[in-house]
Amino acid sequence: MFVYTQRPITRLQPAGWKHINDSNTSRGLMDKTEFVAQYPLSACMGFFERFRRVLINCTQTLVLIRSSRDIGTIELIQPAESDKKDVIATANVSLLKQTSVKITKIKWIVKYFEPNVKTELGLMRILDGKRWLPLEYQHWDIAVYPMVPQTTHHTWSVRTFSNVEKPRYLLIALGKEHSIMSKSDFQHCTLRNVKAYLNSDEYPYENYNTDFDAGKYTSMYNAYVRFQSMYYGRTNPQALLDRVHYKELGPIVVINCSKQNDTAKTSTVDLRLDFECANSFPQNISLYCVIIHDCQMEYNGFSGEVRKL
C-alpha cells in the first residue's frame, strides 16, 4: 500500500488494484461470477523487481501455495449510512462463508529474447568455463509478534540474520487482527518512538518523538514518503497515503538501515525493535515488520546447481 499511486494503479487495474481515494465502489475487476486477472510478478516478488542481470541456462519454477479458505479473497462493502449495520454485518459473514473461489487456469508469461551471434558466443564461453555466477537481490520477509503485552514500552527480538543477509529497510505497523477477514486494521496506538538495533548499531539515530493525538508525526510521515526514493530511486515520489490517511488508515514506520559499516565482519546480525507509546498497548494488538534484506546466492549455468552463500 506504500508503493503504488494513482498512475501505476490505473495501469494495474487488470490485476485488481484500486486506489484508496476511489469512491466509486461499483467499478472493479469482477462484474460477474467469472473474471480474468493479469498480475505482474514484480508486485509480489522482490527478485523480479530488483534483479537486472541475465540468467544463463537457469530453470525457473513458480510454486503457488493456495490457502485452504477462500474467505480472505473476498470483501463485502456495506453502505456507510445504515440503521441495520449489525444485521448487515451478520448477513455478510454468513455470505462470505458460503462463497468459494475456483481457479480454472494459471499461465506464467515470461518474455523471451534471442541474443545476436556475438553475445551468444560470449554466453557459451561462460557456460563452457563452468563458472559460478552471482545471484544477488533483496528479499522481502515478514515477521509477526501476536498479542503485545499491555505496556507502554516493549522490546521485540525479531530475528537473527547471517552477515551476508543484513537487513536494509524495515517497514513496521501495529494492528488488530480480524477473526473473519485476513487483513489487519492498522492503527497508531499512541506510538511515540520506534528504534531498530542491528547488534549494537541504532537506527534511526534521532528519536521520532511523535504525538498522533496532537498531530505531531511529520518526521515519521516523511520517512514513509522518502521510502520510494531510497528503495526505488524515484526522483519524484508520490506516496499513496496523504498525511491525513496516513494517521487514519496506515501509520507505517519506515526505518532505513541500508547505510552500515560493512567493514566490521560479524558472523550474525541480531535485529531488535524497541517500541515506546504514550499509553499502554490496546488489547489484541499485533506487531508487523516487513524486512527487506540482502540475499546472496550463486548458480552454475553448466550444471544448473544453486547454492546459498
- The enclosing domain of 295 has a CATH number of 2.70.9
Nearest-CA neighbor of 157 among 288, 272, 269? 272
pLDDT in tens, the chain (309 residues): 345 666 666 777 777 776 655 655 555 666 667 778 887 776 666 666 667 777 777 777 778 887 777 766 666 665 555 555 555 556 666 776 777 778 888 888 877 778 889 988 988 888 888 888 888 888 888 899 988 888 899 999 998 888 778 889 999 999 876 543 444 578 888 899 999 998 888 998 888 889 888 888 889 999 998 888 888 777 777 777 888 888 887 788 999 988 877 655 667 888 999 999 988 888 888 899 999 988 888 888 888 788 887
Q: What is the pLDDT of residue 45?
A: 64
| Phi (first) and psi of residue 286, to 5 degrees | -115, 155
Name the one residue in this structure whose C-alpha cell is 487483513. Answer: 183
Residue 139 amino acid letter: H
Buried b (16+ CB within 10 A) or exposed e, 194-223: bbbbbeeeebbeeebebebeeeebeebbeb
| Phi (first) and psi of residue 44, to 5 degrees | -130, -5
Q: What is the pLDDT of residue 272?
A: 92
Q: What is the pLDDT of residue 275?
A: 93
* Domain with 145 in it: 135-308
Pairing of strands 306-308, 285-300: antiparallel
Assess whether the previous peptide bond of 282 is cis (omega < 30° from 0): no
Look at residue 294 and tell me if it is in a domain: yes
Q: What is the pLDDT of residue 136?
A: 81
Q: What is the pLDDT of residue 182?
A: 44
Q: What is the pLDDT of residue 196?
A: 92
Contact 295, 168 (CB under 8 A): no
Name the one residue in this structure whose C-alpha cell is 538495533. Answer: 197
Q: What is the 3-state secondary structure (H, E, C) of the chain?
A: CCCCCHHHHHHCHHHCCCCCCCCCCCCCCCCCCCCCCCCCHHHCCHHHHHCCCCCCCCCCCCCCCCCCCCHHHCCCCCCCCCCCHHHHHHHHHHHHHHCCCCCCCCCCCCCCCCCCHHHHHHHHHHHHCCCEEEEEEEEEEEEEECCCCCCCEEEEEEEEEEHHHCEEEEEEEEEEECCCCCCEEECCCCEEEEEEEECCEEECCCCCCCECCCCECHHHHHHHHCHHHHHHCCCCCCCCCCHHHHHHCCCCEEEECCCCCCCCCCCEEEEEEEEEECCCCCCCEEEEEEEEEEEEEEEECCCCCEEEC
Look at residue 278 and tell me if it is in a domain: yes
Look at residue 292 and tell me if it is in a domain: yes
Distance between terminal CA atoms of the chain?
Answer: 32
Total number of domains constituting the chain: 1
Pairing of strands 167-177, 285-300: antiparallel
Look at residue 119 and tell me if it is in a domain: no
pTM for the predicted model, two decimal places: 0.72
Q: What is the pLDDT of residue 283?
A: 86
